[in-house]
């Protein structure tokens, strides 16, 4: 069975791909070059797709910089050293407008061409940094829409399923699951603000959540943080 797997090269999406592979899917990994600051994640995505034996890997250029509106795509500073209370206090500036909606829509297009009915996305509603499009009710609603949007849906041939195996996991659960599936953590990349060589900052929300996940799981993160 074919599945389209959204893959940023971060810990979550890499773990999600490892789970899909572990469940026997032929995986078609899909990454986006959306004008993000942290382009080093695209290299990570390519490494992870190859290491996990994805059937294919495509990077779609989609310039969300034309709109601005997020610290990940516009000239807004990435917040650093925030504690859990600050992270949970509303939607952060690193939110990219409608990002998962856009990414899932393009995944749906590829799935339709591949005649795949399964899409995997590594969203997480526990340590999710407050993004609206990571919530289960959003995913369910997208799935309903997807089944009305496509040729296969209309012809009753198939049913699109959006798989979110990480949605109820803590970051520590994700680290443990990835470890048990043999994911090489050195290949993954999570930082919102890496330096030119790709070294993670260690202080942005994404680095802090990742570090805490490894600490809670009692495993060592092999990445070489700047702080």
Chain positions contacting a copy of itself, by CB under 8 A: 58, 60-64, 66-69, 90-91, 95-102, 104-106, 108-110, 112-113, 132-133, 135, 137-138, 141-142, 144-146, 148-151, 153-155
For residues 49 and 223, which CB has a smaller minimum distance to a copy of itself in the complex?
Answer: 49
Closest distance to a copy of itself from the beta carbon of 114 (Å): 8
Closest distance to a copy of itself from the beta carbon of 56 (Å): 11
Strand order from edge to edge, sheet including 2-6:
26-33, 2-6, 118-120, 161-163
For residues 51 and 106, which CB has a smaller minimum distance to a copy of itself in the complex?
Answer: 106
Rounded CA separation 54/13 (Å): 13
Closest distance to a copy of itself from the beta carbon of 206 (Å): 19
Which helix (H) or strand (E) is 176 found in, with range?
helix 171-180
Rounded CA separation 152/161 (Å): 12
Find how far residue 145's CA is from the centre of its chain. 21
For residues 23 and 101, which CB has a smaller minimum distance to a copy of itself in the complex?
Answer: 101
Rounded CA separation 122/134 (Å): 9
Closest distance to a copy of itself from the beta carbon of 151 (Å): 5
């Amino acid at each position: 069975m074919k599945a389209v797997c959204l893959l940023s090269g971060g810990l979550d999406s890499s773990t999600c791909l490892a789970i899909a592979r572990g469940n026997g899917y032929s995986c078609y990994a899909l990454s986006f070059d959306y004008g993000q600051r942290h382009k080093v994640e695209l290299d990570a995505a390519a490494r992870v797709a190859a290491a996990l034996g994805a059937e294919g890997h495509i990077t779609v250029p989609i310039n969300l910089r034309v709109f601005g509106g997020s610290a990940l795509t516009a000239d807004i500073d990435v917040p650093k050293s925030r504690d859990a209370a600050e992270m949970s206090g509303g939607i952060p500036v690193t939110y990219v407008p409608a990002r998962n909606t856009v990414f899932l829509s393009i995944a749906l297009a590829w799935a339709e061409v591949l005649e795949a009915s399964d899409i995997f996305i590594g969203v997480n509603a526990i340590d999710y940094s407050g993004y609206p499009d990571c919530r289960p009710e959003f995913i369910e609603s997208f799935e309903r829409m997807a089944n009305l949007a496509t040729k296969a849906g209309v012809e009753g041939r198939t049913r699109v399923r959006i798989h979110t195996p990480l949605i109820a996991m803590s970051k520590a659960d994700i680290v443990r699951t990835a470890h048990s599936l043999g994911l090489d953590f050195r290949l993954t990349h999570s930082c919102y603000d890496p330096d030119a060589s790709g070294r993670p900052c260690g202080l942005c929300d994404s680095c802090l959540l990742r570090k805490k996940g490894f600490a809670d799981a009692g495993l060592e993160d092999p990445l070489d943080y700047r702080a």
